[in-house]
Amino acid sequence: MVSMPGSGEPGSGRPDRGIPDTADAVVVGGGTVGAWCAYFLRESGLDRVVLVEKDRLGQGASSRAAGVIRTQGGTPWAVRLGEWSRMFYLSQADTLGIDSGFTPHGYVLPCFSAADVSAAHDRMAMQNSLGLDVRWLEPDEVDRMSPAMAPGKTLGATYCAQDGYLHPLRNVAAYAHALAISGVRVLERTSFTGLDLTSGVVSGVRTSAGPIAAPLVVLTGGPDLAAVGRLAGVTIPAGAVRHQVAVTEPHPDLAPSRLPMVFDLSVGLYWRPEDGGMLFGMSNPDEPPGEARSVDVEYLERIRERLHELVPVTAGLGLRRTWAATIDYTPDHLPIIGPAMISGQIINGATVASAGGAGMMWGPGVARATADVALTGSSAVVDTADLGLDRFDDQGHSRLATDPIALPFPESTPQTRAFPEHATNT
């Protein structure tokens, strides 16, 4: 008989439950943030790291993303998380023997008004002060760099040649491989059902397969994070909303050499090359929050009108693929990295993590910072002092300014109450 690590052994008097009885850390959620966090915890020296996933690894937004990696963030937090993640993606082949398919391609953020130009120059100064190589493009330079765009549309743009994109399914494969080779125990089809506390300190988790005793727990979950929090008795102001992506038919004018990545901030429309055509994505800021994986055809067509105006060749092209994903967001469009809290009190040993809808873009950086905070209370990746749950009031309003160049998500979330009875004090 072969017994699994942590399970009951012959003569031990414990039943073999098929899951570990104890762990050094348990991570809830098998998306980009949760999976990379579990890997980083293991790499930091914890022997027994367990990841609990209610479905299969990567079955949520991770496998339905657009894969855009932009370091041109609107805040220092976004810049540092984006740059750390970009460097991590570039290092994967050497460290893991597999990678997420990151391709540096260059990202253009065009300006269409004088206010856009002023904001872009301020943002560029901040980004370059943090070590990025972002430069200004005059209107004629934008036209030369992006010949597929209609000429004369912009007042200029910022540009970073190091920004790029990856392949979401390869990212899922990369973190599944990393979990396997590092020895993280992955429990798929296993739901988190509650948090156990002893005198306000984490003592373990409850799952659909049974309890696991552990001194450290990390709560992730992307668009399900608020629900995960409720099970732990923690109010987390993170919402879920539809995000749509489409890919056009191929066309010579959409060759990668003619098509840098572009983000039209005015409507929240972005695009990049994909298989000889164009991949473009969008979120509707007026859509009520909630789970949605069906395509909103009416809104897709509205956005396509803007796309046809900016990239005329797309008007004559059909769509090869369209899909929608439910992704997470926070009211200020910033990540959450910090201790879990109940009624204003920190739960020692429990940490909350959200990439705020930027799972591909910030995910590894958020995961690394979260692992650091769980282990030591701080991180060299990014200053997390203001990124915790304590920045939100009882209605979920943040004291921080909203990230100015995030996707146009709603700026509020459906608020729910914490239910302390879900936490068992023994």
Would you say 27 and 218 are in contact if contact means Cβ atoms under 8 Å apart? yes
* Residue that the structure tokens 């690394």 belong to: 368
Helix (H) or strand (E) holding 341: strand 336-342
Of 312, 329, 346, at which residue does a domain stop?
Answer: 329
Would you say 52 and 220 are in contact if contact means Cβ atoms under 8 Å apart? no
Instruction: State residue 418's pLDDT score.
Output: 36
Give the closest residue to 219 by CA, choosing from 78, 347, 100, 326.
347
- How remote is the C-alpha of 16 from its chain's centroid? 36
In a domain, 315, yes or no: yes
154: containing domain: 105-162+240-329
Of 329, 353, 381, at which residue does a domain stop?
Answer: 329
In a domain, 212, yes or no: yes
Q: Which of the 8 DSSP states describes residue 62?
A: G
| 224 and 174 in a common domain | yes
Q: What total of structural domains would you count in the chain?
A: 2
* Phi–psi pair at 276, nearest 5 degrees: 80, -5
Q: Is 396 helix (H, G, I), strand (E, B) or coil?
A: coil
* Residue 291, token pair as written in the block: 């789970």
CA dist list (Å): 117 to 109, 123, 155, 305, 306: 10, 10, 7, 24, 20
The whole-model pTM stands at: 0.92
| 34 and 126 in a common domain | no
| 311 and 392 in a common domain | no
Q: Which of the 8 DSSP states describes residue 392?
A: B
* Residue that the structure tokens 């460290």 belong to: 95
* CATH number of the domain bearing residue 137: 3.30.9.10
* Residue 422, token pair as written in the block: 């879900």
CA dist list (Å): 120 to 52, 82, 140, 405: 42, 18, 17, 10
Q: Is 222 helix (H, G, I), strand (E, B) or coil?
A: helix
Of 290, 311, 329, at which residue does a domain stop?
Answer: 329
Residues 6+ apart with CB under 8 A from 2: none
* CATH number of the domain bearing residue 47: 3.50.50.60
In a domain, 99, yes or no: no
Instruction: State residue 414's pLDDT score.
Output: 65
Instruction: Quick: pLDDT tens for 161-186.
Output: 999 999 999 999 999 999 999 999 99
| 412 and 268 in a common domain | no
In a domain, 392, yes or no: yes
In a domain, 11, yes or no: no
In a domain, 81, yes or no: no
* Residue that the structure tokens 């209107």 belong to: 139
| 246 and 218 in a common domain | no
Whole-number Å distance between alpha carbons of 72 and 208? 41
* Residue 209, token pair as written in the block: 């397969």
| 320 and 278 in a common domain | yes
In a domain, 221, yes or no: yes
Instruction: State residue 411's pLDDT score.
Output: 65
Would you say 220 and 33 are in contact if contact means Cβ atoms under 8 Å apart? yes
In a domain, 20, yes or no: no
Instruction: State residue 415's pLDDT score.
Output: 53
Would you say 125 and 145 are in contact if contact means Cβ atoms under 8 Å apart? no
Whole-number Å distance between alpha carbons of 156 and 358? 26
Q: What is the largest CA-CA distance in the chain?
A: 79
Residues 6+ apart with CB under 8 A from 301: none
Residues of the chain with pLDDT under 70: 1-17, 411-412, 414-426
Instruction: State residue 420's pLDDT score.
Output: 39
Cα-based angle 300, 304, 305 (whole degrees, multiple of 5) = 125
| 194 and 110 in a common domain | no
Whole-number Å distance between alpha carbons of 25 and 48? 7
| 322 and 190 in a common domain | no
Instruction: Quick: pLDDT tens for 116-172.
Output: 999 999 999 999 999 999 999 999 999 999 999 999 999 999 999 999 999 999 999
* Residue that the structure tokens 């990390």 belong to: 218
CB neighbour class for 318 (10 Å; exposed up to 12, middle 13-18, buried from 19): exposed
One-letter identity of residue 412: S
Would you say 24 and 47 are in contact if contact means Cβ atoms under 8 Å apart? yes
Instruction: Quick: pLDDT tens for 281-301.
Output: 998 888 888 787 889 999 999
CA dist list (Å): 16 to 11, 57, 62, 155: 11, 24, 33, 67
Residues 6+ apart with CB under 8 A from 356: 238, 328, 329, 330, 333, 334, 335, 336, 362, 403, 406
| 196 and 324 in a common domain | no
* Residue that the structure tokens 């909350």 belong to: 352
One-letter identity of residue 8: G
| 300 and 351 in a common domain | no
| 245 and 347 in a common domain | no
CA dist list (Å): 301 to 199, 304, 315: 55, 5, 11
* Residue that the structure tokens 């943090």 belong to: 130
| 257 and 139 in a common domain | yes
